[in-house]
Amino acid sequence: MKFSLLTVAGLTTSVATAFVSPSAFTGSSSDVSHRAVSSCETSLDMKYKVAVVGGGPSGSCAAEIFAQEKNIDTVLFERKMDNAKPCGGAIPLCMVGEFDLPESVVDRKVRKMNLISPTGVEVNIGETLQPDEYIGMCRREVMDKYLRDRAIDYGAEPINALVTSINIPSDHKDNDQSQYTINYTEFELKENGKKGAGVPKSMKVDLIVGGDGANSRVAKAMDAGEYNFAIAFQERIKISEEKMQFYEEMAEMYVGDDVSPDFYGWVFPKYDHVGVGTGTVVNRPAIKQYQKAIRDRAGEKIAGGKVIKVEAHPIPEHYRPRRVNGRIALVGDAAGYVTKCSGEGIYFAAKSGRMAAEEIITLMESGTRLPTQSEIEKTYIKKYDNAYGPTYFVLDALQRVFYTNNGAREAFVELCNSKYVQQVTFDSYLYKRVQGNNPLDDIKLLGETIGCLIKGYATATPDQEFSNPVESLKRI
């Protein structure tokens, strides 16, 4: 799911400022290599082969860039071409333009966010938005297909398959003649259009980009290490057209230990239904309890609705310990690029996929050489961390401040009454850059934050205690 919390994303900016002044693949063989080198061949006679594993936003955006370099063979592995990934589906306005997304990808244009505190206090934000500004609400099965099809149109070869393992040669960091072997089960469609039994195959490639999500097989193969993760749970609920009118341009976010002890619950509008869900890291076994609570909190607004789909998936809480190993690089969820506090990941997945591919393409010099691990780290990893590392850091801090107990959650909602907070919130979220900060307003916000926290702690209902040592205490 990679859902976005625009309020906290903007609050990040203001609170932080206040506190801190070559042959092509044929598919006919079970062991397919990109090149069969004879004694008379030179490096100019061969094409390097790049495999992108995962056809979501990160993998598709990476494959699209690789496919435009005609001196490189690009293959794109995706196990479910019609995959409907569980996701809140919110994307910032800048992503629509930056990634040239058509309006058909956006189900709803949200211009208001209703924030509800543990005691039921509601704050509606969105008044600072300009008429042409909005948050896009998407269904992942629609958006992912568009991005994947575009990569294929550029020349990426799609392979409908599950990657089962990757053989990594011991000298892959030092010898650019060493190739990786991807073992996979390819699914072939029958005449009736149904998926047939999988056929085991393998393929030799020169470079791998892993965009295969939180449970990444690529990350496992390259020994990328583990990370903490939240469990997100969502129900797609079909409600009446009359009730959908309320959510025409409205999304809702609920905070409280009843809906999550360390995250939030949401109601996000889609094409003809709403996505209702929640998530947690510290008490994952109780996720269905929290899901019931968010349905109860939404109450009459979704009453009588029919659950048409139930979804659950893990959300990374921080970067993988290792994101590059030799000529294997991770992007998106596989790398851990989801922001804490908000759970936003779609934009960062697409951006990391595109950034990684662009940097690697440059290093490959029109397909005439292979990059080293050090080169990938000094370009893709360094540039990504410089651009977005501070955002991850501050959102982590804000989650620790505002999601720890009901008093802090009450303070958070009250702070969002501030028009300044709302302005910076939308500017930061929609455009992924800081805009219009006023030092005097930042100092004022610091005072308001302290005051709201004191008031919130004094008036809020104490959080319910729970015991979950296995899931909660053994965290990385």
Lowest mean pLDDT among 102-116, 180-194, 280-294, 402-416: 180-194
In a domain, 318, yes or no: no
Residue 448: CB partners within 8 Å, gap ≥ 6?
415, 418
Compute the distance between CA of residue 403 and CA of residue 230 in angstroms, rounded to an integer. Answer: 14
Q: Which pLDDT score is estimated for 469?
A: 63
Q: Which residue has the higher pLDDT, 153 or 468?
A: 153
> Quick one: average pLDDT of 172-194?
88
Lowest model confidence (mean pLDDT) among 57-61, 123-127, 358-362, 381-385: 123-127
- For helices 382-402 and 406-415, give the axis angle rounded to 10 degrees: 110
The per-residue pLDDT for range 460-471, each reduced to its tens digit, is: 888 888 877 666
What does 192-257 look like in DSSP terms, one character per residue? Answer: TS-EEEEEEEEEEESEEEE---TT-HHHHHTT-----EEEEEEEEEE--HHHHGGGSSEEEEE-ST
Which amino acid belongs to residue 67?
Answer: A
Rounded distance, CA 472 to CA 2, Å?
Answer: 22
pLDDT tens digit string along 97-139?
Answer: 999 999 899 999 999 999 999 999 999 988 888 989 999 999 9
- Residues counted in the chain: 476
In degrees rounded to 5, what are phi and psi of residue 195? -75, 130
pLDDT value of residue 115: 95
The predicted structure's pLDDT at residue 29: 38
**Chain segment 303-328, per-residue pLDDT in tens:** 999 999 999 988 898 899 999 999 99
Q: In this structure, what CATH number is given to the domain that contains residue 189?
A: 3.50.50.60
C-alpha dist (Å) from residue 297 to 152, 266, 410: 43, 10, 16
Residue 286, pLDDT above cutoff 70: yes
* 357 domain-assigned: yes
Question: Strand 328-330 and strand 265-269: pairing?
Answer: unpaired
Residue 238 lies in a domain: no
DSSP character at residue 378: I
Cβ–Cβ < 8 Å for 266, 254: yes
Answer for the pair 208, 51: CB distance below 8 angstroms, yes or no: yes
Q: Could you count the other beta carbons within 10 Å of the beta carbon of residue 170?
A: 8
Give the per-residue pLDDT at 39: 38
Q: Does residue 476 carry a pLDDT above 50?
A: no
What's the domain range around 187?
A: 45-84+142-226+323-390
Distance CA 165, CA 116 (A): 45
Distance (Å, whole) CA 365 – CA 360: 9
Q: Which residue has the tokens 């934000």?
A: 125
Q: CB of 325 within 8 A of CB of 223?
A: yes
Instruction: Indicate the pLDDT class of residue 37, thresholds 50, 70 and 90.
Output: very low
Decide if 234 is inside a domain. no
Phi, psi of 394 (to 5 degrees): -70, -40
pLDDT at 472: 54
> In this structure, is residue 106 part of a structural domain?
no
Question: 119 lies in a domain?
Answer: no
State yes or no: pLDDT of 184 exceeds 70: yes
Q: What are the strands of the beta sheet with 90-91, ordered from one edge? A: 90-91, 135-137, 108-110
**Mean pLDDT in residue range 150-176:** 96
The chain-wide mean pLDDT, for the chain, equals 86
Q: b or e along 209-238 (b: 16 or more beta carbons within 10 Å of the residue's beta carbon)?
A: bbbbbbebbbbbbbebeebbbbbbbbbbbb
**What's the pLDDT at 28?**
36
Q: What is the pLDDT of residues 393-403, one digit of tens each?
A: 878 888 888 98
Q: Would you say residue 43 has pLDDT above 70? A: no
Identify the pLDDT of residue 191: 66
In a domain, 315, yes or no: no
Confidence of residue 87 (pLDDT cuts 50, 70, 90): confident
**Does the CA dihedral 382-58-233-247 come out positive or negative?**
positive
- CA distances 89 to 108, 276, 292, Å, are 10, 11, 21
The tally of domains found in the chain comes to 1
239 within 8 A of 274, measured Cβ to Cβ: yes
